[in-house]
């Protein structure tokens, strides 16, 4: 049985030996990077700088929420507003792997700058086992380039520290619960964020739509099911196609939102969740009334494999 207390104790000791200087971590506020940051912070205190990069691809009210968590955890932190920078670098980009590469490169560019300013010698990452296994870590072929494994430029000369490398999600959640980290029960959210939940080219309008739709899905699912009966992941995807519908007494040409809800243990395989029709009804009604540019909502009934969890 995995014991979070023993894991933390041993890791903190190990990290004190390993890190002989300043370190930096990009923390998304998700459970993996927050737990990684907290464990390293317990080892080296203010010598760790926790950075939240606001890419503009985050969920509704995310930056405020994350800052609150950082404050509560007593982190030495910085919040960087890089929204414009990310969006302009993705103009005209349609291919999902390209999107991931560009986002990864941008992250690293911003990071390099902050790391230099802070004089960090170490880079902490919240990589967990499924991330590197799926990124072609030797066990399987490369499925996709997860940005948090996506390669650090050699010239950066930062030493990589990955305290959660051998853990699976449920173990990370156990540590988070043990440490009283308030996002322990949150569903996983991909590093590139909403950028991979808009199929095709990204722009402000589409970001706004998918952000709102996603907030509705999260709110309705969380009101409908208590934590134990909720799906493992539940979110909205914006499709790049438009179709005809009616708004009031007028025919309107609108976007389609796909709803994805899955059951999974660690994201490696997944089964589509069978939600109540009442819940689907509420979600579809709210999305099509509150987001005028959407006139169609569909539900994804694909397992992984053959589908992935994200659409991209």
**61 backbone dihedrals φ, ψ, rounded to 5°:** 60, 20
Closer residue to ligand XMP (CB): 163 or 192: 192
Closer residue to ligand XMP (CB): 29 or 267: 267
| Interface contacts to ligand XMP, rule CB under 6 A | 146-148, 188, 190-192, 233, 267, 304, 308-310
Closer residue to ligand XMP (CB): 70 or 132: 132
The least distance separating ligand XMP from the CB of residue 46, rounded to whole angstroms, comes to 26
Instruction: State how beta strands 271-272 and 250-263 pair.
Output: antiparallel
Q: Which residues of 37-76 are buried (b: 16+ CB within 10 A; e: fewer)?
A: bbbbbbbbeebbbbbbbbbbbbbeebbeebbebbeebebe
- The full DSSP string for 91-134 is TT---HHHHHHHHHHHHHHHHHHHHHHHT--EEE----HHHHHH
The least distance separating ligand XMP from the CB of residue 239, rounded to whole angstroms, comes to 16
Closer residue to ligand XMP (CB): 129 or 158: 129
- The first and second tokens of residue 60, run together, are 């509704």
Instruction: State how beta strands 48-54 and 77-81 pair.
Output: parallel
Closer residue to ligand XMP (CB): 148 or 256: 148
Closer residue to ligand XMP (CB): 130 or 254: 130
Q: Which residues of 154-169 are buried (b: 16+ CB within 10 A; e: fewer)?
A: eeeebbebbbbbebbb
- Total length of the chain: 312
The least distance separating ligand XMP from the CB of residue 164, rounded to whole angstroms, comes to 11
The least distance separating ligand XMP from the CB of residue 81, rounded to whole angstroms, comes to 21
The least distance separating ligand XMP from the CB of residue 31, rounded to whole angstroms, comes to 10
The least distance separating ligand XMP from the CB of residue 188, rounded to whole angstroms, comes to 4
Query: Looking at the DSSP assignment, which residues form a beta bridge with residue 23?
Result: 48, 122
């Amino acid at each position: 049985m995995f014991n979070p207390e023993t894991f933390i104790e041993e890791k903190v000791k190990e990290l004190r030996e390993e890190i002989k200087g300043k370190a930096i971590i990009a923390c998304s506020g998700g459970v993996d990077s927050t737990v990684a940051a907290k464990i390293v912070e317990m080892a080296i205190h203010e010598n760790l700088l926790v950075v939240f990069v606001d890419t503009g691809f985050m969920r509704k009210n995310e930056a405020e929420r994350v800052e609150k968590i950082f404050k509560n955890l007593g982190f030495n932190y910085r919040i960087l507003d890089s929204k414009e920078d990310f969006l302009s670098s993705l103009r005209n980009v349609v291919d999902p792997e390209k999107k991931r590469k560009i986002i990864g490169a941008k992250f690293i560019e911003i990071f390099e700058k902050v790391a230099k300013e802070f004089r960090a010698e170490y880079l902490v990452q919240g990589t967990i086992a499924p991330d590197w296994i799926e990124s072609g870590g030797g066990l399987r072929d490369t499925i996709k380039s997860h940005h948090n494994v996506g390669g650090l430029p050699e010239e950066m000369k930062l030493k990589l520290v990955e305290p959660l490398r051998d853990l699976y999600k449920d173990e990370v959640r156990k540590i988070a619960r043990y440490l009283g980290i308030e996002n322990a029960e949150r569903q996983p959210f991909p590093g590139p964020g909403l950028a991979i939940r808009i199929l095709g080219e990204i722009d402000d309008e589409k970001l706004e739509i998918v952000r709102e739709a996603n907030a509705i899905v999260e709110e309705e699912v969380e009101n409908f099911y208590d934590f134990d009966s909720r799906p493992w992941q539940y979110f909205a995807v914006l499709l790049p196609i438009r179709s005809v519908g009616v708004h009031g007494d007028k025919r309107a040409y609108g976007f389609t939102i796909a709803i994805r809800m899955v059951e999974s243990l660690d994201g490696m395989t997944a089964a589509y969740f069978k939600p109540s029709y009442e819940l689907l009804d509420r979600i579809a009604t709210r999305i099509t009334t509150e987001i005028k540019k959407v006139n169609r909502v569909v539900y994804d009934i694909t397992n992984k494999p053959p589908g992935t969890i994200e659409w991209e």
